[in-house]
């Protein structure tokens, strides 16, 4: 995402990065240096030590964090003490107000609380814009963003949506406005609940077909041309040699960790309890992901297939 931002924002703008993963930051800077070539000049990138430093220097701040507690902690650091006013600096807006775009997957209630804190403590705007598309989508700038921000014209909210959309389009191919604050996250939790279930079903279907003697490549081709096709079967298939660039090609490294899928599933279950929605398969899926995480650690969640495969005994599956 950072590479796509730096490549597409105006050359005069500066991309300021703050990441607790210093190794990832180092690799990013090295890649930019390499792209610049010998004697070349790296495009404007600055490394910040704190999230507060990023906010003080920036007009548009994009946050991506794992858990609700992380997002709350970061925004507490950003908002206390009160941020100084900021003149317009970039080409994305003529307004002097900062824009916070949170792409984290957290619960809608926490996001609304953060939005209220931002709007009440500074002349800034906050929107929730979780994303879908995985690591592959982030690299290729083909992500889908689910936007939660007011769309009516009062208080400039219509302008806010128009301001946010082109920024997100630098990192993705589609921005879907889901409604007011928190609505983007509501859409994301519904989507990721479906993903959690379809990932398990894909692993089980591939395991079943292979145990019945089918060639995995032919089986995947059949599924992906039939009614069973889904993102997990087509883009993130758990069998090596089927989905180019997928985590299965790299021993399930570098994708969406099992623990993050388990976290999102838990958030969807919490939202379901609060809204009165029935999720019949949720507890079964939650238990399975707990077992897979205990066995496989931080591997991509498609490693469910390998967990199932290890449990095969003859023509049955161990329980």
User: What is the per-residue pLDDT across 63-111, written as a single tens digit (0 to 9) for each?
Assistant: 999 999 999 999 999 999 999 887 655 555 555 689 999 999 999 999 9
Directed axis angle between helix 258-275 and helix 183-211, to 10°? 120
Alpha-carbon distance of 18 to 51, in angstroms, equals 6
The pLDDT of residue 69 is: 96
The model's pLDDT over 220-261, given as tens digits with 9 standing for 90+, comes to 999 999 999 999 999 999 999 999 989 999 999 989 999 999
Q: What is the DSSP letter of 276?
A: T
Q: For the residues 185-208, what does the mean pLDDT come to?
A: 98
Does the structure show a pLDDT above 70 at 316? no
The pLDDT of residue 85 is: 81
196 closest CA partner among 137, 102, 279: 279
Alpha-carbon distance of 306 to 241, in angstroms, equals 15
Q: For the residues 308-312, what does the mean pLDDT come to?
A: 92
3-state helix, strand, coil split of the chain in percent (to 5) is: 50, 15, 35
Q: Is the peptide bond before 31 cis (omega within 30 degrees of 0)?
A: no
255 contacts: CB under 8 Å, gap ≥ 6: 134, 135, 236, 246, 247, 299, 300, 301, 302
The pLDDT of residue 156 is: 52
126, containing H or E segment: strand 124-128
Mean pLDDT of the chain: 90
Alpha-carbon distance of 140 to 1, in angstroms, equals 9
Q: How far is the first Cα of the chain from the last one, in angstroms, to the nearest whole number?
A: 41
Coil, helix or strand at residue 77: helix
The pLDDT of residue 314 is: 60
Between strands 124-128 and 98-102, the pairing is parallel
The distance from CA 289 to its chain's CA centroid, rounded to whole angstroms, is 19
Does the structure show a pLDDT above 80 at 39? no
Alpha-helical segments (H) within 150-257: 157-168, 183-211, 216-224, 231-234
The model's pLDDT over 48-76, given as tens digits with 9 standing for 90+, comes to 999 999 999 999 999 999 999 999 999 99
Query: pTM here?
Result: 0.88
Does the structure show a pLDDT above 50 at 317? no
Catalytic positions: 188
Q: Which residue has the tokens 């388990």?
A: 262
């Amino acid at each position: 995402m950072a590479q796509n931002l730096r490549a597409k924002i105006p050359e005069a703008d500066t991309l300021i990065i703050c990441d607790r993963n210093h190794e990832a930051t180092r690799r990013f800077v090295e890649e930019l240096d390499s792209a610049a070539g010998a004697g070349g000049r790296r495009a404007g990138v600055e490394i910040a030590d704190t999230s507060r430093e990023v906010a003080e220097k920036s007009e548009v701040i994009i946050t991506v964090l794992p858990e609700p507690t992380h997002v709350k902690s970061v925004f507490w650091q950003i908002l206390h003490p009160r941020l100084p006013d900021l003149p317009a600096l970039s080409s994305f807006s003529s307004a002097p107000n900062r824009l916070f775009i949170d792409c984290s997957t957290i619960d809608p209630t926490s996001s609304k609380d953060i939005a209220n804190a931002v709007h009440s403590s500074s002349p800034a705007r906050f929107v929730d814009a979780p994303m879908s598309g995985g690591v592959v989508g982030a690299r290729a700038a083909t992500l889908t963003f689910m936007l939660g921000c007011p769309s009516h014209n009062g208080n400039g909210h219509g302008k806010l949506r128009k301001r946010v959309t082109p920024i997100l389009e630098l990192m993705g191919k589609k921005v879907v406005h889901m409604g007011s604050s928190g609505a983007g996250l509501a859409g994301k939790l519904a989507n990721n609940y479906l993903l959690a279930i379809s990932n398990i079903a894909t692993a089980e279907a591939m395991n079943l077909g292979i145990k019945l003697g089918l060639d995995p490549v032919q089986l995947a081709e059949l599924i992906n041309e039939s009614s069973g096709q889904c993102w997990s079967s087509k883009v993130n298939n758990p069998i090596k040699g089927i989905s180019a660039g997928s985590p299965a090609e790299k021993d399930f490294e570098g994708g969406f960790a099992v623990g993050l899928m388990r976290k999102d599933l838990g958030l969807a279950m919490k939202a379901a309890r609060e809204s009165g929605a029935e999720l019949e398969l949720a507890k079964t899926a939650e238990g399975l992901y707990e077992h897979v995480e205990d066995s496989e650690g931080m591997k991509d969640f498609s490693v469910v297939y390998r967990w199932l495969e290890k449990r095969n005994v003859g023509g049955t599956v161990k329980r």
